Amino acid sequence: MDTTLLARYSQAGPRYTSYPPAPHFSPAVNETLWREELRRAGERDLSLYFHLPFCDSLCYYCGCHMIATQKYSKASRYLDSLLREVDRVAALVAPGRRVRQMHWGGGTPTFLNPDDIGRLAQHARSRFEFAADAEVAVEVDPRGLTACHIEALREAGFNRVSLGVQDLDDKVQRAVNRIQPYDLIAEVVSGFRAAGIGAINIDLMLGLPHQTPDSFAYTLERVLALDPQRLAVFSYAHVPWLKKHQRLINEADLPDFATRLELQNLSLRMLAGAGYDYIGLDHYAKPDDELVVARRESRLGRNFQGYTPLREIDILGFGISAISQTESVYAQNLKGLPEYQLRVDNGLLATERGYRLSDAERMRRDLIMTLMCDLALDMAAFGAKWGLDFTATFAPELASLAPLQEDGLVRVQGGRIEVTDLGRVFLRNIAMAFDPTLPQTAQSGPRYSKTA
């Protein structure tokens, strides 16, 4: 891939895990509105998300809502509040709705001890009806993980794990305060496979301090030797004005723009050469993976957990900062731990802000998600679905795609918009052409990471 294209299209933009993007959430969606929405919501299947924010140590690159602590008592009290929140939400949800997915993120979900892993999983299953084939996934930090943790996850029904690796170079690891030898990671992968959990995802990150094409090639080679089912290669977003702990990273040690472009090209080349299908953005999967099959069958979705094989599904988020989603409403919990616990322990929901979509915004979301997931859009069929003349309604947006067509990122022909293989790298830029919220956001300062 020509690195001049990466340079040309490197601009601040949303990742479109929601539409409108999260910076547009407001307190207008409060606890009262969310209670009403939970009672009113239809019969769609459910995805449960649990945010477990605690970590033993602070990774300097982290952009998550996390709490570094050595005090397990904090996690114990948080878990009590989390169970209360589950009870409160479950009481508002119509019975019989099936859970097709459950995901634990953080933070480090495996900060919980094995007994508490079982306690939370059992409580969720006692309050909701799980489908027999539900995907039950957890994010794992290989450091501190024991055989007892793996056994607890197996007994709790987890069938997919995502391992945070980021980089295997010792100098890079020391610069971001995340030391984890390759042998440890390999041992953890073997442990999960021995326990019958074979769906292994590995998360990497490019753009970290001291990374070079040679050092990252070494990381990719060693990780590919572990044969993961999926890989996510995220670009580090240096946003110290949002995440103050990122100031612990020496900016002079960050790779320059040209090197970042080389790193991205390297990832695309090596992972394609290893046989992984490039889903788009950061995601890669083996050709027989459910994400690849879902895209082929036009049911691939995208939400705050990234790409998912289930598009038409409601999300119930639990814990600090967790985001829930129905067809028409996003609702986000309080981000502060004391505030969250006070609210939940006093018999209330933890909702702090969110967004209610108009019909026009739901239509825009459908358009953007279709392009990002199906990599193509039939303009006549989309117009018929939403009762509009597509070419007339989106004449300015279609005109704005002209430069992207010239650069080979999209094709607009035969009544279709098609993302090219090259265009998968620039999905965010393509989606941005249909997002009228961007000028509003641009006036209020930096909010988004760069698209490349």
**Stretch 248-273: mean pLDDT:** 93
Higher pLDDT, 205 or 450: 205
Asked if residue 391 is part of any domain, the answer here is: yes
Asked if residue 452 is part of any domain, the answer here is: no
Sheet containing 416-419: order of strands: 376-378, 416-419, 410-413
Residues 52, 66 within the same domain: yes
Task: Say how many domains are in the chain.
Answer: 2
Backbone angles phi, psi at 201, to 5 degrees: -105, 145
DSSP code, position 246 = G
Judge whether residue 439 has pLDDT over 90: no
**Stretch 224-248: mean pLDDT:** 93
Over the stretch 32-89, which tens digit does the pLDDT of each residue have?
999 999 999 888 999 999 999 999 999 999 988 999 999 999 999 999 999 999 999 9
Question: Of the residues 340, 356, 372, which one is the last residue of a structural domain?
Answer: 356
**Stretch 293-315: mean pLDDT:** 92
Residue that has been written with the tokens 């952009």 in this structure: 63
Tell me how far apart the alpha carbons of residues 81 and 357 are, in angstroms, rounded to a whole number: 30
Q: Please report, rounded to a whole number, the percentage of residues in the chain having pLDDT higher than 90.
A: 85
Asked if residue 397 is part of any domain, the answer here is: yes
Residues 260, 403 within the same domain: no
Question: Of the residues 303, 325, 356, which one is the last residue of a structural domain?
Answer: 356
Judge whether residue 144 has pLDDT over 70: yes
In the chain, the amino acid numbered 167 is D
pLDDT given at position 237: 87
DSSP per position, 38-98: HHH--S--EEEEEEE-EESS--TT--S--EE-S-HHHHHHHHHHHHHHHHHHHTTSPTTPE
Q: Is the pTM of this model over 0.85?
A: yes
Which residues lie below 8 Å from residue 124, measured CB to CB, with a gap of 6+?
Answer: 48, 50, 86, 99, 102
Backbone angles phi, psi at 6, to 5 degrees: -60, -40
Mean per-residue pLDDT of the chain: 94
Q: What is the CATH number of the domain that holds 170?
A: 3.80.30.20
Q: Where are the alpha helices (DSSP H) in 207-279?
A: 213-224, 257-273
Tell me how far apart the alpha carbons of residues 447 and 243 are, in angstroms, rounded to a whole number: 12
Judge whether residue 102 has pLDDT over 60: yes
Judge whether residue 357 has pLDDT over 80: yes
Question: Of the residues 310, 325, 356, which one is the last residue of a structural domain?
Answer: 356
Residue 417's SS3 state is strand
Judge whether residue 446 has pLDDT over 50: no
Higher pLDDT, 7 or 404: 404
Residues 236, 367 within the same domain: no
DSSP code, position 357 = P
User: Is the Cβ–Cβ distance between 82 and 40 less than 8 Å?
Assistant: no
Nearest to 294 by CA among 74, 444, 425, 135: 135
pLDDT given at position 317: 98
The range of the structural domain enclosing residue 425 comes to 359-442
pLDDT given at position 272: 94
Other beta carbons within 10 angstroms of residue 67's beta carbon come to 18
Over the stretch 413-436, which tens digit does the pLDDT of each residue have?
999 999 998 899 899 999 999 999
pLDDT given at position 241: 85
pLDDT given at position 143: 95
Strand partners, 233: 204
Residues 342, 407 within the same domain: no
Distance, CA of 212 to chain centre: 26
Judge whether residue 29 has pLDDT over 60: yes
Asked if residue 221 is part of any domain, the answer here is: yes
User: Is the Cβ–Cβ distance between 381 and 46 less than 8 Å?
Assistant: no
Residues 350, 369 within the same domain: no
Residues 227, 92 within the same domain: yes
Task: Determine how β-strand 416-419 pairs with β-strand 410-413.
Answer: antiparallel
Tell me how far apart the alpha carbons of residues 360 and 282 are, in angstroms, rounded to a whole number: 29
Would you state the structure tokens that stand for residue 205, as one six-digit string? 């990150």
Residues 226, 121 within the same domain: yes
Q: What is the CATH number of the domain that holds 436?
A: 1.10.10.920
Question: What distances in angstroms separate CA 145 from CA 138, 151, 192, 278, one per listed residue?
Answer: 13, 11, 11, 30
Judge whether residue 445 has pLDDT over 70: no
Tell me how far apart the alpha carbons of residues 274 and 217 are, in angstroms, rounded to a whole number: 13
Judge whether residue 7 has pLDDT over 90: no
Residues 321, 394 within the same domain: no
Would you state the structure tokens that stand for residue 3, as one six-digit string? 């690195």
Higher pLDDT, 196 or 241: 196
Asked if residue 92 is part of any domain, the answer here is: yes
**Stretch 79-101: mean pLDDT:** 97
In the chain, the amino acid numbered 24 is H
Distance, CA of 346 to chain centre: 31
Nearest to 192 by CA among 153, 166, 239: 153
Residues 99, 210 within the same domain: yes
Strand partners, 331: 324, 354
Confidence of residue 350 (pLDDT cuts 50, 70, 90): very high
DSSP per position, 296-322: HTT--EEETTEEES--S-EEEEESTT-
Residue that has been written with the tokens 């340079």 in this structure: 7
Nearest to 21 by CA among 319, 338, 310, 372: 372
Residues 103, 70 within the same domain: yes
Strand partners, 398: none
